[in-house]
Homo-oligomer: A and B are copies of this chain.
């Protein structure tokens, strides 16, 4: 190799999780798990690779053309590393459509890959909580998903001042485009794309996008007026049987009756990028001036399994990524300082003591439910052993030498208090438990 070494950094846009990073990730996904399981959601999982066709047909074009990692296997199958979970879960639901008891309340915690330029809040690999209700069309499911989101935020100590939940409806959007702008279906599609990206591009780019896509100046003017209108004003432009109006009104009155409305607001510009959304759409925004951005979002898709089957399954759900959320938690100071390390006790070792005695002591502690490490290198000086215990953050060190074995005792040391005691083998476990609790 002649002195050339490989780089030790992870692949661009991906992360290594050292134990302290992993503790953070585990802390926050286990909190999320608790909330969704209290709502009775069941966990599922799928493969990291899927057939490329799953994404080619349905996800937004940007995702397909630019952001998917895809390649051929040796059997000439075109594969993709999943960039999102919805196509996977749609496939799974379609596969057992006749056996599953609907509605399903499912969640997953999965890693996803997208080829992006890494930047704040956006990496190539991220982990995502996905939560969905499948097989239920009514707005009670939409309401449940929204209230679950508020509970999720609350579980992390996030109050209504830190974020808001902006809600709209694709049917409502389409109705407004059709009735007010007299837009044709292809035009609606173009407008939705431009509106969705508006916050990320300049005003000029936005207007050029519309003009270049055959949206007339009159329509653009109408669109500006639409954005200046209230929900009630927009409703007044639509026919009495507009399903979009009925859904939004029903949803907001339930949110009001249950007090969740203080976290929620109507926002006509919320669309979500994916083409498959058909009804309610929503997005959670960080309200802090340092991080004013979308944290995550989701919506309702009424033709979830259309790629796989003639049968129709409606679903609503969201994907909640760890990268943006971690930024949110940091900015709002919601990460506890002491996500404790695994080990509770370190067993110091002496060279002249039979090693089996340490193995036995360690096993005794494990049986008592106390996680522990033996200091493996028995020839190391005690100073070195204690330095290690300190660096690793073990609250307690136990010493067992030939004298202690003879006396049927151990010496236990409370690291923080620098206190040390000889205790009999019959009593040390109780003493230790007391120290570890306090």
Contact = CB atoms under 8 A, between A and B. Distances in A.
A307 B5 contact: yes
A256 to B, nearest CB: 9
Interface string A41-72: 11111111111011001000000000001010
Contacts of A105: 373
Nearest to A358: B140
The residue in A6, A25, A91 that gathers the most chain B C-beta atoms within 10 A of its C-beta is A6
A391 interface: yes
B94 A366 contact: no
Contacts of A8: 91-92, 94-95, 308-309
A40 B395 CA distance: 13
Interface string A353-389: 0111001101000100111111011100000000010
A376 B39 contact: no
B307 A360 contact: no
A147 interface: yes
A125 B49 contact: yes
B45 A22 contact: yes
A403 interface: no
Interface in A176-195: none
Interface string A85-98: 00010011011100
A355 B46 contact: no
Interface string A1-18: 100011111111011111
Contacts of A143: 355, 359
B16 A46 contact: yes
Nearest to A72: B71
Nearest to A366: B38
Contact of A377 (B101, B113, B136, B377): B136
A371 B40 contact: yes
A311 to B, nearest CB: 10
A26 interface: yes
A79 B70 CA distance: 12
A250 B174 CA distance: 76
Contacts of A360: 258
A284 B50 CA distance: 32
Contacts of A95: 8-9, 16
B373 A40 contact: yes
A273 interface: no
B11 A376 contact: no
Contacts of A269: none
A402 interface: no
A78 to B, nearest CB: 11
27 contacts: A6-B91, A7-B51, A8-B92, A11-B47, A11-B50, A12-B77, A14-B49, A16-B46, A16-B47, A17-B44, A25-B45, A26-B43, A39-B366, A39-B373, A40-B344, A43-B342, A48-B113, A49-B113, A69-B71, A103-B377, A138-B377, A140-B374, A140-B378, A144-B376, A147-B359, A151-B366, A257-B356
Given A18-B44, A49-B81, A143-B355, 18 more contacts: A6-B57, A6-B307, A8-B92, A10-B47, A10-B50, A18-B96, A19-B42, A37-B342, A37-B371, A40-B344, A40-B373, A42-B342, A42-B343, A48-B125, A81-B81, A101-B388, A138-B377, A144-B376
Interface of A: 1, 5-12, 14-19, 21-23, 25-26, 37-51, 53-54, 57, 69, 71, 73-75, 77, 79, 81, 88, 91-92, 94-96, 101, 103, 105-106, 111, 113, 115, 125, 133, 136, 138, 140-141, 143-144, 147, 151, 254, 257-258, 307-310, 341-344, 354-356, 359-360, 362, 366, 369-374, 376-378, 388, 391-392
